[in-house]
Amino acid sequence: MELSEIVKHAFEDAFPGEDFSFVRVVPATDHKFGDYQCNDALKLAKRLGRNPREVGGAVAERLVKCAVFEKAEVAGPGFLNLTVASDWLDSCLIGLASKPSCGIPQVGIGKRIVIDYSSPNAAKQMHIGHIRSTVIGCAIDRIFRSLGYEVIADNHLGDWGTQFGILIKGYRECLTDEERKNLTVANLEKCYVLSAAKAKDEDGLWKDACRVELVKLQQGDSENLALWRRFIDISIGEFERMYRRLGVKFDTYRGESYYNKMMPGVVDKLVTAGLAVESEGALVVNLEEEKLGVAIVRKSDGGYNYTTSDLACVASRVAEYAPDRIIYVTDDRQQLHFKQFFYIAAKMGCTTKLVHVPFGLMSYQGRAISTREGNLIRLEDLLNEAVRRAGEIVKMRADMDDALVERLAEQIGIGAVKYADLSHDPATAIDFNWDKALALEGNSGPYLQYAYARVRSLLSKAGWQQGNVTVADGFAAALAEPAEKSLALQLLKFPGTVVRSAELYKPSILADYLFQTAQYYSSFYQNLPILRSDEPVRGARIRLCSLFGEVLKTGLALLGIETPEHI
């Protein structure tokens, strides 16, 4: 039985007739207080108008009689400090070790989630500003899958709009034959910049020509459509190269263009429902009463806005997948937009839970990242530099053949970049900094990978292989020292941490937990003998190491960070 349940029963026994759904047991904030604590006697005392220490005392009295607790006492104003019996702890650890995926509860079985993330603009190279949506989205994706949810990862590419008129015109007139033949995203970007610059010319001829190309494309002109298709394919090809390096995989690439033909229908429905009204030639949904301003659904020139396209997108996803939830991972500038469109979607009868996970925009040198600011760092350059730096250190440490060095450097460098982002709460804005993004020491990806490699090395020296020693032999002999007991208690928190991380859409909670866990392990490893200790302590400590390794590997996999067996 869960600890919270046991304590809840004690409350019920001591104070019959009250509601105790609020009672919960949490890990002790400090090990000197015991293993776990419960602060809810204070809440109950307030409700009953009684002395909190007396209330706590009545509960503690019942808890000490229970075999689970070695100690249960009231401290301070009325905290319940709980120390669990080592038998009980041992059985929890055995339970954790014998469950698949380190005991992550399968709460999502039978539920489906669509998650929309990364979503770069086609015909542009990915840059460091794309890391956050991609990496945070990927982690949330993996976390929900681990909980048993069926997840559809969709990349909502920016693949439609005025830029394609500029691109098509530029493609025809700003590129050499050679460039047209070996078309790359870099070339597309270049031709866009040249063409856009010409469109700003005063006579406006170029600009008009771009518009003509755009209209032809929108009307389905086969030549322009084929060009557009080619631009998109080349873009996706290049994005996928990045995604492969980052360990990101999408189930679908449905860009804005996919929903294009559904827009008029959406607008019709909004008008029929009486939500959208004419205003200065445009069609708008007035949300002033909800303090959400005004959402334009069709501009005065007849073009559609994101609100319309996102409404079409929701309708399409609901019809196709009937998901329980749709999660959008975008930067926090779009918060108003999401509030508007969620509100309208609900008004239109959408009952699917829509969630926006906003993250702080990444800046560089204190300014927003953009071509105009001239502070754009290509994602590929960042990854290459990360791998280069990791490679230098790998080479210094050991004699390995080049292929192995290269592979390790890739795993470590990319791990560093991903962890640097994931270890922050998504809500915080990040100002990009080479040294921080590529940190290899302290609270960093490589610290965790290193801890994993060390535990694997130790286990292999111990002759440990999966399944050759039964976990039923237990951990009881490895709970006496504070350093090992702390690690054991920390490992038991893993399933709950994954759940909380998912509930709050914050991979940072998991990242933080894994770092703390690795710190407990490093301290344990450094200060207590493992292989050199005597049985039965030796076996129990080895089992504890193995459990740590499994938790770390599982957790890092949820963050999309690889765990090399040897560094």
Partner RNA sequence: GGGAUCGUAGCUCAACUGGACAGAGCGACGGUUUCCUAAACCGUAGGUUCCGGGUUCGAUUCCCGGCGGUCCCA
Site for RNA in 496-555 (CB under 7 A): 500, 504, 508-509, 512, 515, 519, 522-523, 525-532
Pick 24 or 211: Cβ nearer RNA:
24
Q: Which lies closer to RNA via its Cβ, residue 206 or residue 494?
A: 494
Query: In the Cβ-directed half-sphere of 57, how many Cα atoms lie within 13 Å?
Result: 7
Q: Which is nearer to RNA, 52 or 560 (CB)?
A: 52
Of residues 115 through 144, those in contact with RNA by CB under 7 A are none
290 binds RNA (CB under 7 A): no
Does residue 466 sit in helix, strand or coil?
coil
State the nearest-atom distance from the C-beta of 307 to RNA, in Å: 11
Position 454 contacts RNA (CB under 7 A): yes
Residues 6+ apart with CB under 8 A from 126: 120, 238, 239, 242, 378, 379, 380
Q: How far apart are the first and last CA of the chain?
A: 40
Counting contacts by CB under 7 A, is residue 383 touching RNA? Answer: no
Residue 359 binds RNA, judged by CB under 7 A: no
Return phi, psi of residue 84, to 5°. -90, 155
Residue 188 near residue 235, CB atoms below 8 Å: yes
- Site membership for RNA, residue 453 (CB under 7 A): yes
Single residue of 456, 485, 543, 553 touching RNA by CB under 7 A: 456
Distance CA 358, CA 426 (A): 7
What does the alpha-carbon distance between residue 389 and residue 369 come to, in Å, rounded to a whole number?
24
Find, among 289, 288, 282, 280, the residue nearest to 267 by Cα. Answer: 282
Least distance CB 224 / RNA (angstroms): 29
| Residues in 45-64 that interact with RNA by CB under 7 A | 46, 52
What character string, x for contact with RNA (CB under 7 A) and - otherwise, covers 361-380? x------x------------
Question: Binding RNA by CB under 7 A: which of 272, 351, 428, 466?
Answer: 428
Binding part of the chain for RNA, among 31-39, 117-125, 151-159, 203-211 by CB under 7 A, reads: 31-39
Q: Check residue 436 for interaction with RNA (CB under 7 A).
A: yes
> For RNA, which residue of 65, 200, 291, 372 counts as binding (CB under 7 A)?
291
Interaction between residue 299 and RNA (CB under 7 A): no
Q: How far is the CB of 100 from RNA (least distance, A)?
A: 24
Encode burial over 334-370: b for 16+ CB neighbours within 10 A, e otherwise.
eeebbbbbbbbbeeeebebebbbbbbbbbbbeeeebe
Minimum CB–partner distance for residue 482 and RNA (Å): 11
- Total Cβ atoms within 10 A of residue 524: 24
Q: What's the closest the beta carbon of residue 43 comes to RNA, in angstroms?
A: 6
**Radius of gyration of the chain, Cα coordinates, nearest whole angstrom:** 28
Distance CA 153, CA 426 (A): 19
Count, residues near RNA per rule CB under 7 A = 79
Q: Which amino acid is at 530?
A: I
Instruction: State in angstroms the smallest separation of the CB of 514 from RNA.
Output: 12
234 binds RNA (CB under 7 A): no
- Report CA torsion sign: 368, 374, 375, 380: positive
- Measured from the CB of residue 451, what is the shortest distance to RNA in angstroms? 7
Q: Which of residues 260-279 bind RNA (CB under 7 A)?
A: none
Site string for RNA, 165-204 (x = CB under 7 A): ----------------------------------------
Q: Which of residues 310-349 bind RNA (CB under 7 A)?
A: 332-333, 335-337
Is residue 465 near RNA by the rule CB under 7 A?
no
Residue pair 256/232 in contact by the 8 Å Cβ criterion: no
Question: What pairs with residue 121 in β-bridges?
Answer: 158
Q: Measured from the CB atom, is 251 or 431 closer to RNA?
A: 431
Quick check: 284 and 296 in contact, CB under 8 A?
yes
Q: Which is nearer to RNA, 211 or 538 (CB)?
A: 538
Place of tokens 């994101």: 306
CA–CA gap between residue 94 and residue 543 (Å, rounded)? 10
Task: Quote the CA–CA distance of 131 and 418 in Å, as a whole number.
Answer: 8
Q: Find the binder of RNA among 23, 25, 39, 236 (CB under 7 A).
A: 39
* CB of residue 73 to RNA, shortest distance in Å: 9
Binding flag, residue 486, RNA (CB under 7 A): no
Tell me the β-bridge partners of 357. 329
Q: Which is nearer to RNA, 512 or 562 (CB)?
A: 512
2 binds RNA (CB under 7 A): no
Q: Which of 27-35, 92-100, 150-158, 229-237 is the region at the interface with RNA (rule: CB under 7 A)?
A: 27-35
469 binds RNA (CB under 7 A): no
Query: What secondary structure does DSSP assign to 492-535, as a single string?
Result: HTHHHHHHHHHHTT-HHHHHHHHHHHHHHHHHHHHHS-STTSPT
Sign of CA dihedral 38, 39, 45, 50: positive
Nearest to RNA of 26, 350 (CB atom) = 26
Nearer to RNA, 148 or 360 (CB): 360
CA atoms of 267 and 302, how far apart (whole Å): 11
Is 79 an interacting residue with respect to RNA (CB under 7 A)?
yes
User: CB of 564: closest distance to RNA in angstroms?
Assistant: 8
Residue type, 17: G
Judged by CB under 7 A, which of 124, 424, 543, 553 binds RNA? 424
Q: Which 141-170 residues touch RNA, going by CB under 7 A?
A: none
Query: Judged by CB under 7 A, does residue 447 bind RNA?
Result: yes
- Contact status: 43 vs RNA (CB under 7 A): yes
Instruction: Tell me the window of 76-84, 233-241, 258-266, 465-473 that interacts with RNA (CB under 7 A).
Output: 76-84
Distances from the Cα of 370 to the Cα of 343, 378, 430, angstroms = 31, 11, 15
**Residue 430 touches RNA, criterion: CB under 7 A:** yes
Residues 74 and 57 sit within 8 Å (Cβ to Cβ): yes
State yes or no: residue 444 binds RNA (CB under 7 A).
Answer: yes
Q: Name the nearest CA neighbour of 246 among 338, 394, 139.
A: 139
